[in-house]
């Protein structure tokens, strides 16, 4: 029991150190902010974590040290006096127990490996989703004029001048304001209906945009025109709808020049003429289909706080410096918030999938390592116990290759049984992941086969070294010890 406790506590201490390092790596996977949500997650190791780790290590030492301790406390004295003391307390039951534990270890490892494979495939497919707009070459920054007490006239002038300055920078292709970022649950929402068809109401998201916003995100117009400088406050109210909204309200009819109505806050019912149809973009997250969207011009409804979107052919670093210079040239005291590439915002929405993929992969590889070590330990112990028997067989003419094949076959039999049980367990367990997977089936045959094959290859390596040791047993020394 003392030996078992010492090993368990040493392993717990080593695991605590590794855990501290890995939690720092885990923290690096989390962004400081996802769209409008800030993160404040504490991954520090305090006395509660340390106490829990210590208790688990001590309990593990007690549970897995108790059975061998009881066996040692009741040795077979007669067998020991006859010279078989080295094997007197390791009978068939002991080896069967060890084999059962390794089988369980292998099967659980396979479940984790298959789960990790499914989560990694989900992340890969999510990153390949077509969002419907430009991602890689767009820089975003929030400009909030409300906190600086700008009047509406001052704010409109500032936004117009800033856009002109930004589009004049080298490499900038288009720049535009929008109230919200794509993939944002914080977008405004209301019920929209045609002017003479209130029964055809559609719950719709809103976004107020400047004339060059769609060009900045490279969202194509499918019909009609984008907003222009003529769509000002004094002009008739206009709107752009996306494909989904146009289809749900008018079906296959042409939506251009049709009138839309909606209620918005204290302004009551508003009406606008549809002047364009824009391509659909992804809805509130990458995994949802495009939602109905209504774009309204910021020139007709002033918005003091908006996100600037800049599409350019140059790197983000010089563009950030140019953006700050242009803002401070107009107002030295105006802060610029959240300057980030749009790709970071999109990647941030995949944080749950990224965490799940990394954590399950880490646990899967750790379980794979432990399964290999467990199988190696079982075979190494078996070879040590059977050294006299192996020596006698080799003295009688057994070839080293045959001895090696026998040990490898014994280990692979255990591994194959564990893989079979693991496949059955994974078949049942992965069904619980259906809601978390995207683009891959919970019973993906390639993932199941790859996990099983990887585990069998690791098991083969784990069997090789004890088998090689068995083939190098000196028959003379083995017989002399026997």
Domain boundaries, the chain: 1-74, 80-130+347-482, 146-333
pLDDT at 36: 45
SS (H, E, C) the chain: CHHHHHHHHHHHHHHHHHHHHHHHHHHHCCCCEECCEECCCCCCCCHHHHHHHHHHHHHHHHHHHHHHHHHHCCCCHHHHHHHHHHHCCCCHHHHHHHHHHHHHHHHHHHHHHHHHHHHHHHHHHHHCCCCCCCCCCEEEEEEECHHHCCCHHHHHHHHHHHHHHHHCCCCEEEEEEECCCCCCCCCEEEEEEECCCCCCCEEEEEEEECCCHHHHCCCCEEEECCCCCCCCCCCCCEEEEEHHHHHHHHCCCCCCCCEEEEECHHHCEEEEEEEEEECCCCCCCCCCCCCCEEEEECCCCCCCEEEEEEEECCCHHHHHHHHHHHHHHHCCCCCCEEEEEHHHHHHHCCHHHHHHHHHHHHHHHHHHHHHHHHHHHHHHHHHHHCHHHHHHHHHCCCCHHHHHHHHHHHHHHHHHHHHHHHHHHHHHHHHHHHHHCCCCCCCCHHHHHHHHHHHHHHHHHHHHHHHHHHHCCCHHHHHHHC
Residue 369 in this model has a pLDDT that exceeds 80: yes
Range with lowest mean pLDDT among 80-94, 110-124, 270-284: 80-94
Over range 301-307, report the average pLDDT.
90
pLDDT at 35: 46
Over range 257-265, report the average pLDDT.
84
pTM, rounded to two decimals:
0.75
What confidence tier does 24 reach under pLDDT thresholds 50, 70, 90?
confident
Residue 187 in this model has a pLDDT that exceeds 80: no
Each residue of 460-476: pLDDT tens digit? 999 988 888 887 777 77
Each residue of 422-451: pLDDT tens digit? 999 999 888 888 878 888 888 999 999 999
pLDDT at 247: 92
Selected residue with higher pLDDT from 296 and 183? 296
Residue 58 in this model has a pLDDT that exceeds 80: yes
Residue 41 in this model has a pLDDT that exceeds 60: yes
Residue 221 in this model has a pLDDT that exceeds 90: yes
Residue 270 in this model has a pLDDT that exceeds 80: yes
For all residues of the chain together, what is the average pLDDT? Answer: 84
Selected residue with higher pLDDT from 70 and 201? 201
Residue 160 in this model has a pLDDT that exceeds 70: yes
């Amino acid at each position: 029991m003392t030996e078992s406790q010492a090993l368990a506590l040493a392993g717990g201490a080593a695991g605590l150190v590794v855990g501290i390092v890995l939690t720092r790596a885990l923290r690096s996977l989390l962004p400081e902010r996802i769209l409008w949500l800030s993160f404040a997650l504490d991954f520090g190791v305090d006395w509660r974590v340390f106490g829990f780790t210590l208790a688990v290590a001590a309990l593990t030492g007690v549970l897995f040290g108790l059975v061998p301790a009881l066996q040692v406390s009741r040795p077979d004295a007669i067998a020991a006096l006859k010279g078989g003391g080295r094997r007197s307390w390791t009978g068939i039951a002991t080896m069967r127990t060890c084999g059962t534990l390794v089988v369980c270890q292998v099967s659980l490892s396979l479940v984790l490996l298959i789960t990790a494979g499914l989560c990694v495939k989900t992340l890969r497919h999510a990153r390949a989703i077509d969002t419907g707009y430009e991602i890689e070459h767009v820089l975003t920054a929030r400009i909030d004029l409300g906190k600086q007490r700008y009047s509406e006239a001052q704010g409109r002038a500032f936004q117009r001048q800033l856009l002109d300055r930004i589009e004049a920078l080298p490499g900038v292709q288009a720049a535009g304001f929008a109230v919200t970022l794509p993939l944002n649950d914080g977008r405004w929402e209301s019920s929209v209906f045609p002017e003479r068809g209130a029964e055809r109401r559609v719950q719709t998201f809103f976004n107020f945009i400047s004339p060059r916003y769609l060009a900045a995100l490279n969202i194509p117009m499918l019909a009609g025109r984008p907003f222009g400088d003529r769509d000002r406050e004094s002009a008739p109210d206009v709107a752009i709808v996306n494909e989904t909204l146009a289809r749900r309200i008018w079906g296959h009819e042409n939506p251009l020049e049709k009138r839309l109505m909606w209620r918005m806050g204290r302004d009551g019912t508003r009406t606008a003429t549809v002047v364009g149809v824009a391509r659909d973009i992804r809805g509130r997250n990458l995994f949802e289909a495009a939602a109905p969207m209504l774009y309204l011009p910021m020139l007709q409804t002033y918005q003091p706080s908006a996100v600037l979107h800049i599409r350019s052919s140059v790197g983000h670093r010089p563009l950030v410096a140019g953006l700050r210079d242009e803002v401070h040239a107009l107002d030295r005291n105006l802060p610029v918030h959240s300057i980030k590439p749009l790709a970071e915002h999109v990647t941030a929405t995949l944080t749950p999938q990224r965490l799940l993929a990394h954590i399950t992969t880490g646990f899967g590889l750790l379980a794979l390592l432990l399964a290999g070590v467990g199988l190696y330990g079982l075979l190494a112990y078996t070879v040590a116990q059977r050294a006299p028997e192996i020596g006698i067989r080799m003295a009688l003419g057994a070839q080293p290759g045959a001895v090696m094949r026998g040990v490898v076959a014994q280990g692979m039999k255990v591994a194959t049984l564990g893989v079979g049980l693991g496949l059955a367990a994974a078949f049942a367990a992965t069904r619980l992941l259906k809601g978390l997977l995207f683009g891959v089936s919970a019973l993906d045959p390639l993932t199941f086969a790859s996990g099983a094959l990887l585990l069998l290859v690791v098991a083969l390596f784990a069997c090789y070294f004890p088998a090689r040791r068995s083939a190098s047993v000196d028959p003379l020394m083995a017989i002399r010890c026997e």
